[in-house]
Amino acid sequence: MKATEVFIPGSFPEETYIVRTDKDYEKELTDALSIDGFVVSISGPSKSGKTVLIERVAGKDNLITISGAGIKTPSNLWDSVLDWMEAPYEMQETSKHTEKMGTEFGVSGGASVLGFAKAEASAKGKIDSENGSETRASRRRGGSAQVVKELANSGFVILVDDFHYIPRDIQEDVAREIKDVVRHKVKICAATVSHRGDDVMRANPELRGRLQTIDLPYWGPDDLKKIAITGLDKLGATVNESSLDRLVKEAAGSPQLMQLICLQMCFVKNLRSKLKEPINMEITDQDLLAIFEQTSSSTDFRSLFDVLDCGPKLRGKERKIYLFKDESSGDVYRCVLKAIAADPPMLSFDYDSLMARARSICVGDAPSGSSLSGSCGQMIKLAQEHFPNERAIDWDSEKEVLDIPDPYLSFYLRWSGRLLEKA
């Protein structure tokens, strides 16, 4: 057994799947999926294991995952499902119409019948002939109706991942079509991040009474620790408690990030496959630094960092510069990034927590609340403009919540060293 088969950050972790101790979410989801005509809404922090939970309950081969980011019209959802099923875009149907005509005949003696051999005795019979016509017609995909025909009363589950990324102006239409489809006994789950967990309900009030919600909080330290302990046991190793606590802290409640940290720990300690004899690995501060630096480099956010750090082009007066406690300085955009990277590691920040972190890193004046909120909005616009296919950072202007959908961005900010460079 290899370390890459034990710790799996990007897929279903067969060897290190952990059933959480705070609640039986597997049973809750199983019960929710058993209710005909209901949509299941699963909300939770980014990278908190929503997809893995659904895959565990539904089964990998039965899960049809569709990204909300790719849905621009309601028909996109059903086209994506039919794409997964490899349904053709166009089908040819052929129908044939035939007519029979019969002729009575009688023969005797040496007469022949249609050239056949002569008959020695009299006989009577009937000869049939056929005239036919053939019609061909093309039939295109049937959208939601075809999905119902193919998936109703089956074990398949459609997962609309990141439902909140569907444009708000079509969410109502999408939700309405989902309601009609589940009414015909097709199982559908919608996954959202916590602060947008009511998007499905808000998009279509008709779903009230037809929506089963499951809320997944951040993972607790004990459950995250089990990922490391379970995986290391399969590889024949143990690690001291204090080191495990440090790994858990940096995972910031994300099981996927914990999987990656553990995998990088195996690489740093050269634990690439199961040991013949069990050992207790010592993790030094230098090892921890190497583990975290390698984790941060798993995905390169250099270009995104540069865009967010610079902010929009200046118009008029220059931005105010703030002094930070690490003896560096920068404008409000650098302050937001440093606030994200501050201790303790987090993946979601409401208005109050973002303000508190900004004040904690500044010497003297800190940006005002309106300046921070405005900068967050500008940063999201820049991210969407320059990297439309990435969802690494998100800002809900209504609720004033800054979310880091990709925890690797938070890790990059904390451990890449970019925030120590001169602004």
Residues 367-395: pLDDT tens digits? 999 999 999 999 999 998 998 867 788 89
Assess if residue 74 is contained within a domain. yes
Assess if residue 119 is contained within a domain. no
Helices (H), 59-123: 74-84
Task: Please give the pLDDT value at position 66.
Answer: 94
Radius of gyration of the chain (CA): 32
Gap between the Cα atoms of 88 and 93, Å rounded = 13
pTM: 0.77
Peptide bond into 312 cis (omega under 30): no
Give the pLDDT band of residue 118 (cuts 50, 70, 90): very low
With both helix axes pointing from N to C terminus, report the angle between 241-251 and 285-296 in degrees, rounded to the nearest 10.
Answer: 20
The tokens describing 156, both together, are: 């398949």
Amino acid sitting at position 111: A
Same structural domain, 199 and 288: no
Is residue 6 within 8 Å of 234, Cβ to Cβ?
yes
Handedness of CA 23, 20, 258, 324 (dihedral sign): positive
Same structural domain, 62 and 208: yes
Same structural domain, 316 and 347: yes
Q: Residue 245 belongs to a domain with what CATH number?
A: 1.10.8
Question: Among 200, 215, 230, where does a domain finish?
Answer: 215
Q: Residue 182 belongs to a domain with what CATH number?
A: 3.40.50.300
The tokens describing 74, both together, are: 């309601």
Percent of the chain with pLDDT over 90: 60
- pLDDT, one tens digit per residue, over 390-418 is 778 889 888 899 988 888 889 899 998 89
137: CB partners within 8 A, 6+ apart: 92, 93, 95
DSSP 4: H
Q: Does residue 116 or residue 378 have the better pLDDT?
A: 378
The tokens describing 227, both together, are: 């990922």
Residue of 299, 378, 297, 298 lying closest to 337 (CA atoms): 378
Same structural domain, 208 and 72: yes
The tokens describing 326, both together, are: 């690490």
Output the CA torsion 8→9→10→13 (10° steps).
40
Same structural domain, 54 and 150: yes
Domain that holds residue 347: 302-420
- pLDDT, one tens digit per residue, over 159-191 is 999 888 888 888 888 988 999 999 999 999 999
Based on the structure, what is the number of domains in the chain?
3
Average pLDDT, the chain: 86
Same structural domain, 290 and 311: no
Gap between the Cα atoms of 132 and 109, Å rounded = 36
DSSP 2: B
Same structural domain, 211 and 272: no
Highest average pLDDT, of 7-11, 87-91, 166-170, comes from 7-11
Task: Please give the pLDDT value at position 245.
Answer: 95
Residue of 390, 289, 344, 392 lying closest to 47 (CA atoms): 392
Gap between the Cα atoms of 419 and 413, Å rounded = 7
